[in-house]
Structure 1
Amino acid sequence: MHQTGYTRASTLGPIAEVVLAAGGSIERVFRRADLPLALLEAPDTLVPLRDHFRLLMVTSRELHDDVFAARLGRRTSMAGLGVFGRWVTQAPTLLEAIHRAATSLPHMLQNATHLVMRRHGSEIHWSYELSDPARDGRQQNEMLAVWYMIAVIRHFSGACWLPDRIIFGGLPSRLRSPIGELMGTDTAVGNAASAIVFDRRLLTSVNPNLAPSDGLTASELGRIFDLPDPEDLPGRLSVLIELELLDRRPTLSRIGSRSGLARRTLQRRLGDVGLSYSDLLRNALQRRAVRLLYRTDRSIGEIASLLGYDDPAHFCRAFERWSGVPPSRWRRLQDSRERPDMERVVEMTPGWTS
């Protein structure tokens, strides 16, 4: 199976708005990148980094814009990064925010990447470093990542703050001028990782918007550690299954193709840990059913259709066999003290038969 990191769909920022404003087709972009358009409405969904890179590359080609991701980055905000964004921007000082970003990035938002802060005299070099092997679209991704790093510092230093200079690793010389204009500051080309450079005195900047009630809820904290380990084959396959479920009920062949494993190899390796593809699919259906019931106002019929059931009755019977109550009853109980922690139950239950 191809080694890869994962990121949340939220890191794409307002990509649909930027593509539309430039006269492109967001539907065509997602189709060419072989990703479900429903990702735009599911920001917490995990996406393999190679697919995230490819989407940025395809979009750049669609718009005939070599610095598209830098343009997109100007429209991003930390608020769009959900739990990770809140955790970082609730730090008391910029130094603590950078520390939080570095330590929580692999668990909350994106793994196979590292944020590293180094001091060079009176300057701080804050770099974005990738260990994922994917190459296509990598440069676009780094342009976008740099803007998110700028957004962190702007939270402490003001909405117009810019670094003294930005270093892009491996940037073609022909792009230095257009990307410098977009970034609004001096842009350099280097052989190392991309980085932003600023005065080290900024590290003591105090958070101007910190409220006594700020903090993460228990449910938000529970989502911190859901990025799969590189050696966790069931976890990595489950990411692909949940991604596919946004568009269709995935087949074993489809997941095998996306994972880079032959069908029989995939089955054998799951069998080695006492699992089957059906187990993973059932558990993914359960998780998605709970999220749709709990976090949306969609009807039971709509949810059944989204999960690939032929009719609502089939879905209701399956849900009741698993949870003990019909989905409509479960939904009514969601604010009751009697309601169990269903997200936790999903992780522990083998699943219903569909």
Structure 2
Amino acid sequence: SFHSAVVGTGLNVKLMLYTRKNQTCAQVINSTVFGNLNMTKKTTFIVHGFRPTGSPPVWMEDLVQGLLNVEDMNVVIVDWNRGATTVIYNHASSKTRKVANVLKEFIDQMLVKGASLDNIYIIGVSLGAHIAGFVGKMYNGQLGRITALGYREPLGNIDFYPNGGLDQPGCPKTILGGLKYFKCDHQRSVYLYLSSLRENCSITAYPCDSYRDYRNGKCVNCGIPQKESCPLLGYYADNWKEYLKQRNPPMTKAFFDTAEEKPYCIYHYFVDIITWNKNIRRGSITIKLKDKAGNITESKINHEPAIFQKYHQVSLLARFNQDLDKVSTISLVFSTGSVIGPKYKLRVLRMKLRSLAHPERPQLCRYDLVLMENIENVFQPILCPKLQM
């Protein structure tokens, strides 16, 4: 009703249990009735956020099923839709501590029944992330794990910043996009987490001081053999906790880029270019890969101009939406971005393409190229000599 939309709805928290025994139909449980909840297994609580229209989150079912598919656990939806439903955000946020108290009471009873705090995992979305934080504080930081989706400032042991953490590709850039303009960027965090539960997409992130440094390829050493592994976004992020223990303090920021559409995976390559122009050239490179089946993927490395100097190697981080196993042709385009003025040439002594995701793959090279500005140069690469760095 209009009255409920403005004033808000009264808080009524329901706990809804899903397990592999009841994967599609929830059991309503509480601190005295535990249903199929197995105290020896991991229990993952999903806490939604602000619900201005009162509708259930569209991603909820996929998240439940995804979690149960990757691990035999208890999944409990903390349904506080009655309480979260109002068009006035402050009315919903004022109820979050009460939700946290309900959750604390339930977990206390789980502990009495033999559960372990180490096996408690809370995934909080938007205001639900704040609820998760309140619960974590009540247990003095002893909960097994918290994943908070939807906050810009660094708060966790590891904070992930997709596409720098602001505008997300594929989301509307103006208010003409309607309701999607207001929620798309914020909600993307949930869909990126969901992608981590699918077998065909592991999103790698790179610990770094800034998004700019990541884009410039300065923070990808974790992907090199003999180095520590790179953290993965989402469900498997805690595989990196042993590396975090070695840091002081045990916190880090990690950056990565995504595609515009599901499953959002981006595949990283380095494009190493050595030039022999007499004068310095500044510009961007567009690289296109094609395999024998005709699949094509393209990367525009244009976030800031590269500086090409004679006999100096420039390593550019390229990002592709597809990972082509066997590349048959490569094309390069050099551009200074200038609309008027003379057209320049980039004289390439050597170009090398190497995969970060699969460093064991053969590296591909091409020698003695002249790139005419804004003109595509297509060629077949050859295998680089194995001793070449």
- TM-score for the superposition, normalised by structure 1: 0.26
Of Structure 1 and Structure 2, which has the larger fraction of its residues in helix?
1
Larger Rg: 2
Normalised by the length of structure 2, the TM-score is 0.24
More strand by share: 2
